[in-house]
Chains A and B, each alone.
Chain A
Amino acid sequence: MQFTNRSNRLLRPAKPWFVYMSFFAALMLDYVPFGYNAAIPDWVALVLVFWCIREPQYIGMGIGFLLGILVDVGKSTAMGEHALAYVVLAFMANGLARRVMWFPALLQALHVLPMLLVAQMLIVGVQIFGGREFPEWDYFFSSFVGAALWLPLTYLLLLPQFQPVDRDENRPI
């Protein structure tokens, strides 16, 4: 496992409990009832895309489906609305994982942005199917915020993997 496929640094393998903890944390962040604010990104979608790109063998559509149902319950949206978006999101991220890993983090964000937008459009489509109106255009701003957060998120979620294999007591970090 490398930081990107072009970097020389080898990372430690991701720990499953950390992956699931990050999903839990993202779910908690999504549940915080700030009211509607377009500047708040969809944390679950962002973390899901991250692990779908990093660990395409283990994290995929099944996890996306489960997370989507939980988000639907928590946000009291139609059952399956976020599940549908996250399943498609996981499919796209898994499919593009090998390609995205060849790019530096900033260019990775450019790959992530259209995926997040597609997921949001699916949610809007389901809402219109359920008889709602088309949202204001700033609704899609949250995807741009999410893409902008891609770089810091990459470093944050890879922190445990940056640890050296041989732990040096004199240099703990």
Chain B
Amino acid sequence: MPVSDFQTRPVFKRGVSAKVRLLAYVAICLVILVADLRFRYTDSLRESLHTGTLPMLTIASEPVKLLGNATEHFSGLADLQEENARLHQRQSEGIERLMRFDELERENANLRGLLGMRKKMRVKSVAAEVLYNVPDSTARKIILDQGKDAGIAHGLAVVDAEGVLGQVTRVYPTQAEVTLITDRNQAISVQVVRSGLRGVVFGAGHGLRSLKDIPSRWQQVVQSDIGSGSLELRFVLANADIQPKDILVTSGLDGMFLPGLPVAEVESVDREAGAFARIACRPLGGVEKSVRVLVLGRVELPPPPPRPETGEPPPFPASPKAVRQPGEEG
């Protein structure tokens, strides 16, 4: 029964009919959607609208923040002491490594100097706090309280103390949106520490706890069941040298992430699945748990090498005004 049958027929013609307007609006929406999803043309519009709605967003997030603070406040002394002890222990463990690291870095710099290689690049990082998770059923995204003004840019890596959390996918002047590595659309280039094997880790979305509930025609849309892990290492041959408990770190081949950041631990390897092994991984960082995170700046390229000296700088061509003799005037 078509909806429009219940519409009152206007006695007098007043503008375009509802169906035509619906078609026009749907067409506009589809154009905007394709422009955003495929080409990201709407980013500047989104940024300005976001700036306009920022007061509303801030006020709306206040009660949740208050609730979180209250929970933290009343979390109890015991928890805090425990956390304090853990942090102390970690710090004392870290100091020893750090001292060795300083020494190694100095040694490395010396050796590199001896070899005449270019200096390893330093990066600038920004500390940020997670404001909230994006309320979405399928996306795994968080919003940070720092944005473009603090130097955060599109594509930067976001880490916590344990490992990689995700990547900045949208930047606003005072906020940034991070897609977590468990999001289904997020991929990251990794390397197995033990064997040096390279691969690509994909997010597994919600891990498909309820795959049995989903009709078979949707199973191409959703991902195949990969077990309890929320990450999947894909395109690794079934006979590759990989086993559970292996640690995966970023390989740096994507040019986005620094090499050597811990990403995940292999949970299970299924070699019966076909040509490629089906490998479930567990993220090492506190994905979806961490509150304080670090946004790692992009690797800054060193300044271009100076031009070889050619003695005198090339003579500046004198302008006609300068060579003109005073007597020629008039």
* Known contacts A73-B49, A132-B184; A80 and B56 CB within 8 A of each other: no
Residues of A within 8 A of B33 (CB): 78-81, 84, 126, 129
CB of B310, distance to nearest CB on chain A (Å)? 54
Cβ–Cβ < 8 Å partners of B26 in chain A: 84, 87-88
Q: Which of chain B's residues have a CB closer than 8 A to the CB of A38?
A: 137
Which A residues are in CB contact (< 8 Å) with B209? Answer: 136
Interface centre among A37, A81, A91 (most CB of B within 10 A): A91
Chain A residues 85-142 with CB under 8 Å of chain B are 87-88, 91-92, 94-96, 98-99, 126-137, 139
Let me know if B135 and A36 touch, CB within 8 A.
Answer: yes
| CB pair B184 A130 closer than 8 Å | no
Whether the Cβ atoms of A76 and B210 lie closer than 8 Å is no
B323 at the interface (CB under 8 A from A): no
Q: With A73-B53, A76-B141 in contact, is A95–B6 under 8 Å at CB?
A: yes
- Residue A46 CB within 8 A of the other chain: no
Partner of A70, one of B53, B61, B132, B138: B53
Quick check: is A61 within 8 A (CB to CB) of the other chain?
A: yes
* Chain A count of residues within 8 A CB distance of the other chain: 53
Identify which of residues 215-258 in chain B touch chain A, using a CB-to-CB cut-off of 8 Å.
218, 221-223
- Please name all residues of chain B whose beta carbon is closer than 8 Å to the beta carbon of A99 when the two chains form the complex: 6
The answer to the question of B154 belonging to the interface, with a C-beta cut-off of 8 Å to chain A, is no
CB of A9 within 8 Å of the partner chain: no
Q: Chain B, interface size: which category?
A: 35 or more
- Assess whether A31 is interfacial by the CB under 8 Å rule: yes
Q: Flag if B210 contacts A137 (CB, 8 Å).
A: yes
Chain B residues, Cβ within 8 Å of A80 = 28-33, 36
Contact of B61 among A33, A62, A64, A94 (CB under 8 A): A33
Q: Looking across the interface, which residue of chain B has its beta carbon closest to that of A96?
A: B6
B35 is an interface residue with CB less than 8 A from chain A = yes
User: Given that A28-B59, A131-B185, A133-B205 are known contacts, is A91 also in contact with B136, CB under 8 Å in the complex?
Assistant: no
**In the complex, which residues 178-208 of chain B have their Cβ closer than 8 Å to any Cβ of chain A?**
184-185, 205-206
Is there contact, CB below 8 Å, between B56 and A74?
yes
- Contact between A91 and B18, CB atoms less than 8 A apart: yes
Query: Which residues does chain A contribute within 8 Å of B206, judged by CB atoms?
Result: 133, 136
Q: In angstroms, how far is the closest chain B Cβ from the Cβ of A65? A: 6
- Decide if B22 touches A87 in the complex (CB within 8 Å): yes
B125 adjacent to chain A (CB < 8 Å): no
Q: C-beta contact mask, B48-63 vs A, less than 8 Å → 1, else 0?
A: 0110010011011101
Taking CB atoms, residues of chain B closer than 8 Å to A31 are 53, 56-57, 60-61
Contact between B57 and A74 (Cβ–Cβ < 8 Å)?
yes
A38-91 contacts to B (CB < 8 Å): 38, 40, 60-62, 64-65, 68-70, 73-81, 83-84, 87-88, 91
Task: Assess the B210–A28 pair: CB atoms within 8 A.
Answer: no
B36 and A91 contacting across the interface, CB-CB below 8 Å: no
**Chain B nearest Cβ from A75, distance in angstroms:** 6
Residue B292 at the chain A interface, CB threshold 8 Å:
no
Q: Which A residues lie within 8 Å of B50 (CB)?
A: 73
> How far is B61's CA from A32's CA once the two chains are assembled, in angstroms?
5
Q: How far is the CA of A42 from the CA of B33 in the complex (A)?
A: 20
Whether A87 touches B29, Cβ cut-off 8 Å, given contacts A76-B143, A130-B37, A133-B221, is: yes
Would you give the shortest CB distance from B203 to chain A, in whole angstroms?
A: 10
| A27 interface hit (Cβ, 8 Å) | yes
A35 within 8 A of B: yes
B261 beta carbon closer than 8 Å to chain A: no
Interface membership of B325, Cβ < 8 A: no
Query: Chain A: which residue is nearest B63 at the CB level?
Result: A32
**Of all chain A residues, which has the CB nearest B36?**
A79
Residues of A within 8 A of B29 (CB): 65, 68, 80, 83-84, 87
* Residue positions of B touching A, CB distance < 8 A: 3-4, 6-8, 18, 21-22, 25-26, 28-33, 35-37, 42, 45-46, 49-50, 53, 56-57, 59-61, 63-64, 131-139, 141, 143, 170, 177, 184-185, 205-206, 209-210, 213-214, 218, 221-223
Q: Which 10 A-B pairs have the closest CB atoms?
A: A33-B132, A31-B60, A80-B32, A135-B137, A84-B29, A79-B36, A80-B33, A95-B3, A87-B25, A80-B29
- Show 16 A/B contacts (Cβ-Cβ < 8 Å), sorted by A: A31-B53, A33-B131, A33-B134, A36-B135, A61-B22, A62-B25, A70-B49, A75-B134, A80-B28, A80-B31, A88-B22, A88-B26, A91-B22, A131-B184, A133-B184, A136-B209
- In the complex, given contacts A87-B22, A136-B210, what are 17 additional A-B residue pairs having Cβ atoms less than 8 angstroms apart? A29-B60, A31-B57, A35-B135, A61-B18, A61-B21, A73-B46, A76-B143, A78-B37, A83-B29, A83-B32, A87-B29, A92-B3, A94-B18, A133-B221, A134-B218, A134-B221, A136-B137
